[in-house]
């Protein structure tokens, strides 16, 4: 029986806390559904989600792609074809299996000279792979285009992260408009993160998109990050955890 996979894509401009909230989503889902198969995908080249979740990454999906491209460039076409046929198994090898979830890092962004057919094939492999899981959380780099280009052509839940700034809210509004053209999704919402003055909340507006939660600046999370602690070390009543839980609840994922 095919799984009814829920795919959560997290996007927004840089420096607004996407990775922290993505990690909080993974933690909340593992706690709410201990029997579920959960996959965290780090689609940001900085590989910050691994740090937030306490995962050690030894190989990325891009390492596999580079191996295939190198084989083609060296004229070893037979080897390249064999690598493609083994891609699904190689992705399983690349995955880091934690006690409560699996983790996959995409790696560096594509550069000029990459082979589109290879990239498209690998995107399809990941698309197939996602159906082995009940929940997939994708921490995307700034913008939305790479979600369509490299990871998923369809997500069920698109969650946009912004800070309280006017520039931040304009960016998520732009991302949503781009997503309307590039990505198929069922539900979309916004989280306003790192609020330092709650009296300004009435002035924060995002056009045509529901605001799922407002998260106050989280000093505990910032201190934990400096100390090398993970999202699993955060208290349940920390602003990040409370805000992330409220968002998942409104999205009917909890």
Is this model's pTM higher than 0.95 or not?
A: no
Nearest Cα residue to 121 out of 129, 131, 112? 129
On the question of pLDDT at 115 being above 50, the answer is no
Using one digit for the tens of pLDDT, what is the confidence trace for 47-98?
689 999 999 888 887 777 676 667 666 766 666 566 666 666 667 777 888 8
Alpha-carbon distances of 58 from 61, 66, 95, 123, rounded to whole Å: 11, 15, 9, 20
**Which is higher by pLDDT, 243 or 180?**
243
* Domains of the chain: residue spans and CATH: 6-250 (3.40.50.300)
SS3 at position 8: strand
Nearest Cα residue to 11 out of 183, 164, 134? 183
Q: What mean pLDDT is reported for the chain?
A: 82
On the question of pLDDT at 213 being above 70, the answer is yes
* Residue 118 and residue 65 in contact, taking contact as beta carbons nearer than 8 Å: yes
- pLDDT of 87: 62
Alpha-carbon distances of 139 from 80, 203, 254, rounded to whole Å: 29, 28, 19
């Amino acid at each position: 029986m095919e799984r009814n996979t829920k795919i959560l894509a997290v996007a927004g401009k840089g420096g607004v806390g996407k990775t922290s909230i993505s990690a909080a989503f993974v933690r909340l889902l593992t706690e709410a559904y201990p029997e579920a198969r959960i996959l965290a995908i780090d689609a940001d080249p900085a590989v910050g989600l691994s740090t937030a979740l306490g995962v050690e990454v030894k190989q990325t999906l891009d390492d596999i792609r580079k191996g295939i491209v190198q084989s083609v460039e060296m004229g070893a076409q037979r080897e390249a074809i064999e690598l493609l046929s083994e891609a699904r198994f190689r992705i399983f090898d690349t995955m880091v299996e934690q006690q409560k979830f699996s983790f996959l890092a995409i790696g560096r962004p594509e550069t000029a000279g990459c082979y589109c057919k290879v990239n498209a094939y690998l995107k399809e492999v990941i698309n197939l792979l996602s159906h082995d899981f009940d929940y997939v959380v994708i921490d995307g780099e700034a913008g939305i285009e790479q979600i369509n280009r490299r990871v998923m052509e369809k997500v069920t839940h698109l969650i946009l992260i912004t800070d309280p700034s006017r520039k931040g809210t304009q960016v998520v509004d732009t991302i949503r408009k781009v997503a309307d053209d590039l990505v198929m999704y069922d539900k979309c919402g916004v989280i306003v993160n790192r609020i330092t003055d709650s009296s300004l909340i009435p002035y924060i507006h995002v056009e045509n998109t529901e605001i799922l939660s407002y998260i106050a600046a989280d000093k505990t999370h910032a201190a934990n990050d400096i100390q090398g602690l993970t999202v699993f070390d955060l208290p349940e009543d920390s602003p990040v955890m409370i805000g992330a839980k409220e968002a998942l609840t409104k999205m009917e994922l909890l």
